[in-house]
Chain A
């Protein structure tokens, strides 16, 4: 009844690489998610130029490393599933162009902002950071929703639709969901990494965003789940994954009120991983769904690279991924301190004061380092 049962055209290696790519996107959402969030909140939380500088400094040393998760996801898809890579990026041409343009301006903005002292100069780059963070935050959600919903893919993996096939209510809901989750992620990150007024403002924003993100995620995952059975090939859609994701983001608001900000960050990371996991579990064993006919679906079988390539890549990944996780985790540890404005008292940090105040900082570093996606078990 399904393609998969007629011809089990895939092996453990292909399943492994499907999993790796899911992990890479989870890592990307968890890590770049908060630096996108900080970028979007720049005009909201940052009242003055100095505020915005403090905010940018919280992500300064790490955003570039976070973005590499995207590049690795892209490269891994190319090597492991060339047809997925080819169909996805040629089919979703315009959104990808917009994402690339946004990431270009955003990336140079971080570097160039402080190079001149003129306020207009800084303001222009603040705009670049805002839009450069906002657009991809929406478009990644739109893209993944469309991958799952199905797009007009015909023979040979050729995308037969237009840009407008990508605009539909389900995918826009996906975009709003990732946007709100990333903004929430960024605001919780800011409460962990700043002091004084900026921190208070970030807390305030987070408390507003938490319920909004919960509603969006609930709606998106409910819709996804409702569609899952009729759209799915093999029926592996364990309901606990989306439920866990929704529960995690629903808990963020409560954790914030309890001043358990480190845990709030972890909870939001769990929600993001749960979102990616739900999407990938629904996709499996497909990688892109054709809305024309299931026979045109790209699957981990028909989109995969040669087994030899997958073996080589597996060896390379097993050797180097732990190493990368260790040093990237270590860099978060190095920059675990809060960033504050010059005038603000050092004691501001004591505000964090919660039952587990000293642990909070450690939790932050630990959360980012050993978030559910990168399992190196905490900072070295």
Chain B
């Protein structure tokens, strides 16, 4: 936890909020935010610097039955976050698309792991793991992301 606090650097926000109303029932309201993210993953065969835009779709989860505090489901897509090998200049990609459930609070620090690999045929066989850490603020009424940024780092548990 300390490591994450020390390594996190707030990034100037550049938000594109897209609200989409799904056509099919139930009429869940989802919103999508594009969050800038960057950082370096150390390791072998080379360290990789990632940058790009993470797409975070949030869906508000309410609990009308028992009045539990609302939650939010986040779908985090890193397709548009690419890496460059610091030694070779090779391109690295991630196909990560993860869903996580969190309690809805005004500000949350959310960390997911994600795989990445060289952008070459068969590159998946040499996939490695990295961390994407987001510091996000939320609209407590709608569950929409209202601000934040992210960093990429190496797992060091």
User: Does A associate with B in a complex?
Assistant: no
